[in-house]
Structure 1
């Protein structure tokens, strides 16, 4: 019977060590998650500083230029998203693309409505630039993981540009109705940028 005591003690020690192992693992996972969140925050802050600098260096466009740039951006986003719905391999990328189609269709309608109330009324030109057409052509040749990466890289860049444009025009634009709609669209586009950055990571 005396020999059972060391055996029992060893069993208790083994269980205790196992418990410590689980706790250590949990602590390590928690630390890793906190570090990842800190890096995400630092990255977002650095990106926002870059956007602030870009905005400071960019002259505020006149109303016609603003709506033309927004219309072209919306048209490009919708066309690229339609490619993503069929060419992407990741469901999260497909879901993002579906969100882009809906949001940029809505943005197009709201910009048109606001432009129509300007005095004199303005009409946006949504014809894609040569660079946008080339980017779409290149994107259309890709499939699967390669498509996912290039599409999301492009989405981060495009939405950074759109955030700068909307922030600037909503603060200093020359047409009140367009300033208002720019301010209303800004939180949505910022949300798209944040989403694209997470997918990029």
Structure 2
């Protein structure tokens, strides 16, 4: 696109030397080329969005419910470790808040899943990666634990926020879609809290 712009500018300058009529023609050529470049850019952007949607499609109601459930289960398990292994009182207070909030989130998702037709039963089974993370966390104590726990909380809440926002926008199960919309700002608040603890 850079070469097109330079070539068009050179054409415009050479035509401009020939007189008013050719100058107008040159202006029109520049405008037409600019519009074509804009269209090409828009097409590329739309194609990139389409590829992104294809690679990260909105999950089904069951997949969303499972993801929300195992996210909550992971958060609660990690927070329980923090209550015994953390050094910082602020990290322990954050962990206590996470247990309460994610227990409430679990109940909200279960109630919304039960209202689906047919009803959905969330599966809270942790993934292999989540189990590995908990195992690694369990080996740490004090300030080392604090750093690893908060780093993990930022990553986990980033993922949970994306899950909630995407399903709230494009989900196909009304009750779960509503629940996701209600939970998303709470998750965003948790993410902000974790980031604030990381900077201390």
Same fold (TM over 0.5): yes
**Residue 48 of structure 2 corresponds to residue 80 of structure 1:** no
Among candidates 126, 134, 137, match of residue 139 of structure 1: 137
Q: Unmatched 5+ residue regions in structure 2? A: 1-51
- Structure 1, residues 114-151: CA drift from partner, whole Å, max 9, x if none? 00000000000001111111110110000000000000
Residue in 2 that maps onto 1:70: 68
| Matched-pair contact (CA < 8 Å) for 1:63–1:173 | yes
- Structure 1, residues 86-134: CA drift from partner, whole Å, max 9, x if none? 1000000000000000000000000000000000000000011111111
Residue in 2 that maps onto 1:192: 190
CA–CA separation in structure 2 for the residues paired with 1:131 and 1:155: 14
What is the TM-score normalised by the length of structure 2?
0.72
| CA separation of 1:78 and 1:86: change in aligned 2, threshold 3 A | same
Runs of 4+ in 1 over 4 A off after TM superposition: 54-57
Residue in 2 that maps onto 1:101: 99
Q: Which moved more, 1:128-137 or 1:81-90?
A: 128-137
What is the TM-score normalised by the length of structure 1?
0.72
- Structure 1, residues 19-60: CA drift from partner, whole Å, max 9, x if none? xxxxxxxxxxxxxxxxxxxxxxxxxxxxxxxxxxx8896211
Residue in 1 that maps onto 2:123: 125
Deviation at 1:168, TM superposition (A): 0.5
Name the Cα RMSD after superposition.
1.4
CA–CA separation in structure 2 for the residues paired with 1:134 and 1:76: 11
The answer to which structure, 1 or 2, has the higher relative contact order (CA under 8 A, 6+ apart) is 1
Residue in 1 that maps onto 2:24: none
